[in-house]
């Protein structure tokens, strides 16, 4: 229900930062590969947040209020006046 993923703009920015880091520091293919592996975003740490948000959205939503129905009920109660 809740998508906490990156936008395309955020993802492209992350890739650009990663590319600059590789250009500046890596001297071998292996070092470049390790930089990429180390830059992976760990989403498992946020899984409990997603579960809590989904639970709240599914179970704690406010009941719907139908104003028209409430008005009709009140009109029916007092129609004899």
- The string of pLDDT tens digits covering residues 24-81 is 999 999 999 999 988 887 666 666 666 766 666 666 655 665 667 777 777 777 777 6
Q: Please give the tally of structural domains in the chain.
A: 1
Identify whether 63 is part of a domain.
yes
Residue recorded with tokens 């890596």: 26
Identify whether 50 is part of a domain.
yes
Whole-angstrom distance, CA of residue 48 vs CA of residue 69: 39
pLDDT recorded at residue 1: 45
Return the structure tokens found at 80.
Answer: 């004899």
Residues in the chain: 81
The range of the structural domain enclosing residue 49 comes to 8-77
pTM for this entry: 0.47
Higher pLDDT, 65 or 19: 19
How does residue 2 score in pLDDT terms, banded at 50, 70 and 90? Answer: very low
Identify whether 19 is part of a domain.
yes
Whole-angstrom distance, CA of residue 7 vs CA of residue 9: 5
Identify whether 3 is part of a domain.
no
Averaged pLDDT for residues 5-9? 77
């Amino acid at each position: 229900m809740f998508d906490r993923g990156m936008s395309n703009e955020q993802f492209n920015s992350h890739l650009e930062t990663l590319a600059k880091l590789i250009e500046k520091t890596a001297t071998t293919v292996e070092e470049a590969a390790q930089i990429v592996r180390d830059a992976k975003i760990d989403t498992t740490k946020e899984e409990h947040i997603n579960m809590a948000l989904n639970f709240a959205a599914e179970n704690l939503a406010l009941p719907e209020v139908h104003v028209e129905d409430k008005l009709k009920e009140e009109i029916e109660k007092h129609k004899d006046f």
